[in-house]
Amino acid sequence: AVTKLIVDFESVAWVLFWLFMTDLVTGLFASYFEWRKSGPEERWFFGKGEGFSSNKFKKMFVKAIVYMGLPYLIIQFQQILMLKNFKYERISEAEFEYATIVLIVFCLNEGFSIFHENLPKCGFNLWSQIKRMIGFYKKVKSEIE
């Protein structure tokens, strides 16, 4: 008997939830570090000090609504039109619901936000660390040869 492999929507949704929360926390830290670098006249990060932006915080709620609402609409759309799951055999034998694909794109967006936007503002640049490790590897390899 051939069993269908279907990527679990709920698991991907949990990954997105934790990435979203991590993005929120790293975004707050990034705002704090940028606020500190600017040499604020006000002492407070929250309030008049303008370190914490309520506009950015409001945008997080809009993003959360889109992250929850769009996959739900796509699931309904897929059921109404009786669309089959997506399968691309060059990548995997597993099938993907279209809503799961949207969640994966959202996860990639959150990962980009965390590693490319927020963490460098906090003083940790993943890409430069990777380049430094590759350079170290190349140096060690050339010394060994």
More confidently predicted of 70 and 49: 70
Model confidence at 112, pLDDT cuts 50, 70, 90, reads very high
Token look-up 């990548």 returns 91
Contact yes or no for 45/35 (Cβ under 8 A): yes
Pseudo-torsion of CA 50, 20, 61, 27, nearest 10°?
Answer: 10
**Res 123: pLDDT:** 82
What is the chain's percent helix, strand, coil content, to nearest 5?
A: 70, 5, 25
Mean pLDDT of the chain: 82
